[in-house]
Amino acid sequence: MPPKNADEKKRDTSLDLDVLRELRNIDQSLISLKAAFEKLKSAGDLTDDDIDVIMQEFEDFVSGKVTQLDKVRNDLRALYERYYEKYHDRAIVSVHGGVCHGCFVTIPPMRLDIIRRMDSIEFCDNCGRILIWESE
């Protein structure tokens, strides 16, 4: 196979970023669902039917996640899984207002420029999480 040119690489990266964004959305939904479930459970407000509905939702999210994970490059997927474990469900975070929303460390302007361009996958220098640019 001929080596990829810059345009092809850029397109691959943009596809990777789309999948990462989707994964982050699913993880966020899972976190919210988990929190809602814990709250209802501790209030004693859950019927068996409620639990069935919630479990079905969990399964739907998780199967959506498996579909997305299958599209991720192997090296990226390994990193994602490592950080997912380490940081309890938040491996991909947004960069907003110049800070990493995983560890809330300020990102130097030069690094911000690189992340903003989104033609490469970038990681937080402090916590290592995968960074997704969020428009200001």
Min CB(76)–Zn ion separation in Å? 17
Min CB(102)–Zn ion separation in Å? 4
Please tell me the distance from the alpha carbon of residue 103 to that of residue 9, in angstroms, as a whole number: 29
112 is an interface residue for Zn ion by CB under 5 A: no
Distances (CA, A) of 135 to 2, 22, 70, 75, 103: 35, 16, 27, 27, 19
Position among 64, 121, 127, 133 found at the interface with Zn ion (CB under 5 A): 127
Q: How many residues bind Zn ion (CB under 5 A)?
A: 6
What mask, x for binding Zn ion by CB under 5 A, covers residues 67 to 106?
A: ---------------------------------x-xx---
The angle subtended at Cα 72 by Cα 25 and Cα 67, nearest 5°, is 60
